[in-house]
Amino acid sequence: MSVVLIISAPSGSGKSTLARHLVESDPRLDFSTSVTTRPPRPGDEEGKSYSFVTEEEFFVMRDRGELLEWAEVFGNYYGTSSVVLDLARQRGHDLLLDIDVQGASQLMERLPEAVTVFILPPSRTELESRLRNRSSDSNEVIERRLNDAAREVANLDHYDYVLVNDDLDETLDELKSILAAERHRKGQMTGRIQSIVESFQIGTKI
């Protein structure tokens, strides 16, 4: 059984960086590449950054039930194809999803066993500083992102874990610890431990 690990955070909280480092450090963890109608940006790689599709193609996938979740963000559509979870399970791997609170809410309903982590910035002031230092957005967009951040933070009670990303390395270690602990829940270990338990001839079924 695969662990499905969902992480969400306001834009600028370091979520994508944490996700990338976690996947790079763990060969048993697959990353769910989102489908999006957003135009590619410099440095984006098809199939790695996102799978880029037209709005028409996106809506066809949605209407066929091929998306585990989907949301509209800043006028563009994003979603998670059910294929990525099927592939991870076939490979015996776990799956990491880097998605916003809209998509996470849908996945919590469809996959109640999923493990959810919310990443907080150290403060609103620090978040604004990070957004402005990226120098990639207008003041209008930054203000919109900050307003959205307040809405997203209001949803953190729905998550299993909350991490404050004031130090990237420490937060990454905490994220690794969460994944390791979830992998050793009894339900995840059933296939491995059943024969061991049976060898004690105590008649216990896991």
Mean pLDDT of 186-205: 77
Mean pLDDT of 122-128: 91
Q: What is the mean pLDDT of the chain?
A: 91
Distance CA 79, CA 35 (A): 5
Closest CA to 85 of 68, 103, 106: 68
Structure tokens at 56: 């028409």
pLDDT at position 162: 97
Mean pLDDT of 184-190: 78
Query: Rounded to an integer, what is the distance from CA 72 to the centroid of its chain?
Result: 16
Residue type, 146: L
Run of H or E including 144: helix 139-153
Closest CA to 94 of 145, 165, 22: 22
Structure tokens at 71: 């949301």
- Tokens 């949803």, residue? 155
What is the share, in percent, of the chain residues with pLDDT greater than 70? 97
Distance CA 178, CA 168 (A): 15
Flag whether pLDDT at 36 surpasses 70: yes
Q: What are the backbone dihedrals phi and psi of residue 110, each rounded to the nearest 5 degrees, phi first?
A: -80, -30
Structure tokens at 158: 């729905």
Flag whether pLDDT at 57 surpasses 80: yes
- Tokens 């991870």, residue? 88
Whether residue 119 contacts residue 163, with contact meaning beta carbons closer than 8 Å, is answered with: yes
Mean pLDDT of 135-163: 90
**Domain range list for the chain:** 4-32+94-199
Flag whether pLDDT at 159 surpasses 90: yes
SS3 label, residue 53: coil
Distance CA 49, CA 153 (A): 25
Mean pLDDT of 78-87: 94
CATH class as words, domain 4-32+94-199:
alpha beta
Q: What is the pTM of this model?
A: 0.85
